[in-house]
Chains A and B, each alone.
Chain A
Amino acid sequence: MQAANDLGSKLILVCCGTGCLANGSMEVYQSLKKQLTDSEVTVKTFTKPTGCNGWCEKGPLVKIMPDDITYCQVKASDVPAIVEKTIKNGELLDRLLYRDPQTKKRVKSHHQIDFYKKQHKLALRNIGEIDPASIDDYVARDGYKALAKALQEMTPTGVVEEILAAGLRGRGGGGFPTGIKWRAAAEQAARPKYVICNGDEGDPGAFMDRSIMEGDPHTVVEGMIICAYAIGATRGFIYVRDEYSLAVTNLGIAIDSARRHGYLGNNILGSQLCFDIEIVRGGGAFVCGEETALMASIEGNVGEPRDKYVFPTEKGLWGQPTIINNVETWANVPVIINNGAEQFAALGTAGSKGTKVFSLVGKVVNTGLVEVPMGTTLRDIIFTIGGGIPGGRSFKAVQTGGPSGGCIPESRLDLQVDFDSLLEAGSMMGSGGIIVMDDRTCMVEIARYYVNFLAGESCGKCTPCREGIKALLDTLTAICHGQGREEDLLYLEEISQTMQDASLCALGRTAANPVLSTLRYFKAEYLTHIRDHRCPAGICRELTEFEIDPAACTGCGLCTKNCPVDAISGEKKLAHIIDQNKCIRCGECINHCRFNAVLVR
């Protein structure tokens, strides 16, 4: 990047990821640009919008290089001070620096913060550091170097061997070894062959692929071109959710500029390789994340999966050999080619190499995107990086793997996260959502939530999935409404087993995981719903009553202020009381109370 090399100049990076944008980072960026042009600033400055830095909790983030200053929660009204004090005079604005909750000290750079210190960025290496719309920025950080190396120094077989040796496994959920896929497709004689990027990220609570496509689109493009060379493909498709409009835009810009620079098109970098990529916008169907359904969708059909007795590597898109990999998998390819398989395989566990990007969300202090070596413990991710549970509440469970995954209890927090350990614990890696739950999350209701999600997304083609999900949903809903019976638990297990055995695609086969894992670890909570007609988390409305503990209530009035239906009354500084007839059980009182005075009956 020119700016970083330009002596005495300053580079100002404004995070324009989805989270920061929603908090007004575009106004911050525009205002910075304007004021740096208008006011007399003697230092040369470059202001750039970047992709998501991951630390969404503290956004909008503004980083100033080479001083290595990170400002948090910046508002447009902070811009004049940033320009006058920091840019012109090199003074730090203490109030915009992160305050370490332990030491209570202000921290100058994000590099010194626990949230970042434990991370190891490969797939996210460029995000937050470059302007995603600038191919020059990407090239300055070794972009397209891996492609040149592959084309000029390696044979196609050599590339496949390198990916195999790295032990890269598919980051989209299944964890299938990428190299084996590539080798299978490379061995096919049929032409043409296709390369697909699966950007149909659909797991609720997961946004790592979105962040990569928005923040570093060229890494996806480069990964795909390298694969095209390795297997002999001529056309590529990026299937991306239409809702991800910024990702669609940035990928489009990246493809155009890659074409102009000779990385796409005929005779790429003077070689024999001819390859081009087009974008296909998905229609918002979760099942299209399944590869055969995705290919059906590209072909212009309803996105229904098919049985995979013939793999896509043999007969995929339009019946031709096809490689389909997930966004994050593609982002790792240039890294492996550049640094070598050995360096990549040195990270991680025996069966899972490299790093994994997780979206850490839910009841956790530092919501955001994190990338850690495979094998990092859940405890480290949630408590060291994530900063633990907010509001002084207690940890209850962590859900991984999206609707196909499961809930893991506190007793297993020291689990070293990789593809295999999560499966063993009754969950799965999935695309990498980590949803933290506290004692205010009802495990029966969360199982119902996922099953309900899948009920809307099951394509309906095969009976075990279509009817099984409906049966699960009806039973779970009855339990949440206080109409459950003890024999329902056996019924849930029985249905789940049938779905696992007989469903056509992975959506149906894994749909029961949230039910089975909560039954395995939180059976007592199911029984409390059924036998005692109580929801200990205070979520299932029919089974919940909130009451105020007169001994703990200080009469501060915060609950009264936040109650949307004026159901709470009481004199100042005296214990308050909830009118059960008015109460709608929304839980605002318990969420706001600072003295743990609101109880779930």
Chain B
Amino acid sequence: MPAEIKTEPNEKLLLSIINNYPGEKRYILSIMQDMQKQFNYLPRQGLEMIALHVASPFSQVYSMATFYKAFSLVPKGRINFKVCDGTACHIKGSNVIIDQIYQHLGIKPGETTPDGEFSLETVNCIGACALAPAVLANDRVYPKVTSAGIVEIIKSYGGHADASSK
């Protein structure tokens, strides 16, 4: 299966991210953002290392990791569907898309399929309101998605029918 190989968090890689920033409290957010980009989630080891680096209690770092929406404490699926639920998308039927994804993949917003292939989240307005309702699959934007359209999109990533074919 042509899945992207995800980078496993290791101490060296984590350190290289952390050491890009001075050991001051105000850089916690930036470090976490870089970490999230690299691994698609914040590994616990990474959070502990940040706390050490900026000389703050772990609880402070953890509270920020859970407060800000950009971060996830669990790994995301290979394909991360972000359904835009900004107002424009909402009134044009984003709910229906979320329901259809549940019907076909069995996941609700915030969840990942057991095989680690797909995850689903809703996002508040990606600023592409002319394309409503919009869905992102990783970074690819799908404009004006219908309830039938999302099924095709899921299939194109190997969901539903046969997980081994792309």
Interface residues of A (CB under 8 A from B): 18-19, 22-23, 56-57, 59, 202-207, 210-211, 242-244, 280-286, 297-303, 359, 361-363, 367-368, 399, 402, 433, 435, 437, 440-441, 446, 449-450, 453, 456, 459, 562-564, 584, 586-588, 591
Contacts and interface: CB of A to CB of B under 8 A. Distances in A.
Contacts of B63: 302
Interface stretch (B8-16, B28-36, B73-81, B111-119): B28-36
Contact of A19 (B86, B99, B123, B131): B131
Contact of B91 (A437, A459, A563, A584): A437
B96 A286 contact: no
30 contacts: A18-B127, A19-B128, A19-B130, A56-B128, A56-B130, A59-B130, A202-B124, A202-B125, A207-B125, A207-B128, A243-B70, A244-B127, A280-B29, A282-B68, A283-B29, A283-B32, A283-B33, A283-B68, A285-B67, A300-B24, A300-B29, A361-B129, A362-B92, A363-B92, A433-B87, A564-B100, A584-B99, A586-B147, A587-B96, A588-B146
Contacts of A283: 29, 32-33, 64, 67-71
B130 A205 contact: no
A303 B68 contact: yes
A453 B86 CA distance: 9
Tell me the interface secondary structure of chain B in the complex. helix
A562 B148 contact: yes
Interface residues of B, number: 45
Given A202-B124, A281-B30, A361-B132, A299 B25 contact: yes
B132 A453 contact: no
Given A56-B129, A243-B70, A361-B132, A300 B143 contact: no
B85 A204 contact: yes
A277 B148 CA distance: 48
Nearest to B88: A361
Contact of A363 (B25, B86, B91, B146): B91
A321 B28 CA distance: 24
A197 B63 CA distance: 25
A40 B88 CA distance: 45
Nearest to B143: A22
B67 A302 contact: yes
Contacts of A243: 70, 123, 126
B70 A284 contact: yes
Contacts of A587: 93, 96
Given A205-B86, A283-B70, A284-B70, A368 B99 contact: no
B90 interface: yes
Nearest to B131: A22
Contacts of A562: 146, 148
A562 B149 CA distance: 9
A250 to B, nearest CB: 14
A281 B147 contact: no
Contact of B93 (A297, A367, A437, A586): A586
A564 B151 contact: yes
Contacts of A298: 26
A368 B130 contact: yes
A564 B148 contact: yes
B61 to A, nearest CB: 10
A300 B125 contact: no
B128 A300 contact: no
B27 interface: yes
Closest 9 interchain pairs by CB? A283-B68, A56-B130, A207-B127, A204-B86, A361-B129, A300-B25, A300-B26, A205-B87, A284-B69
Interface string B29-52: 110110000000000000000000
A367 B123 CA distance: 20
Given A302-B63, A302-B64, A18 B33 contact: no
| Among B28, B126, B128, residue most surrounded by chain A Cβ atoms (within 10 Å) | B128
| Among A282, A399, A459, residue most surrounded by chain B Cβ atoms (within 10 Å) | A282
| Among B32, B91, B124, B151, residue most surrounded by chain A Cβ atoms (within 10 Å) | B91
Contacts of A282: 29, 68
